[in-house]
Amino acid sequence: LQKMELCSYTKRLFVPALLLLVFTEHTGCGYNFTDINLPIEHIPYYFNSFPEVAQQCEENPDCPFKSSLGHKVCWGYERDCKPQNSYSTPSCPGDHRGWVKTKQDQLRTFYTQGDFGYVRDQLQEMMVMCEPTFKEDSSLECSKHLRFCRGRNIMINFTDLNTRKEPLRYKMDVLKEGQIGGFCT
């Protein structure tokens, strides 16, 4: 934690909000561009994450975000993201000694532990835990050690959590057998 306090972004972004953005799905024939509720400077990143929406914007004469098309920018977690096109550049002022061997190691450590490198690593670790047979079925995929999961049509029974007296933080036994379910293979 102390190491992360020494480092800062050139631009700041709350990563959980990003994760919500990254894993939003778009369906349907046309796209309602008024549904995009982002700061204008994030729109080019959004279009690069969802090229099908960018294509619809390009083809739609009423799309209000035409000026955000064609920018080669990325958040920083994508496989093909070049550092010069990334949303933020880690900056770690001060001495690196005591933490790592070189300044470059300090920047790399910050990137993989507190920046978009962490998001990239979680996405690369994703494994399917529950695969749907049909589109409406349940699905669940998680990274190693269940640090990050995304699912659809999952039932989780939290009813006995109200009766627990101890704090749940860092507990590994929050859910018992039979308290999570769905329809998948």
Residue 13: the pLDDT is: 37
Does the structure show a pLDDT above 70 at 165?
A: yes
The per-residue pLDDT for range 55-71, each reduced to its tens digit, is 999 999 999 999 999 99
Residue given tokens 């590994």 in the structure block:
172
Residue 65: the pLDDT is: 96
The per-residue pLDDT for range 61-107, each reduced to its tens digit, is 999 999 999 999 999 999 889 989 999 888 888 888 877 899 999 99
pLDDT band at 29 (very low <50, low <70, confident <90, very high): low
Residues paired with residue 155 on neighbouring β-strands, in sequence order: 181
* Residue 35 CB contacts under 8 Å (≥ 6 apart), including other chains: none
Among candidate residues 182, 166, 72, the one with its CA nearest the CA of residue 133? 182
Contact by Cβ (8 Å): 34, 115: no
Domain-wise residue ranges, the chain: 2-124, 131-181
Average pLDDT (121-127) is 93
Judged on CB neighbours under 10 Å (0-12, 13-18, 19+), 33 is middle
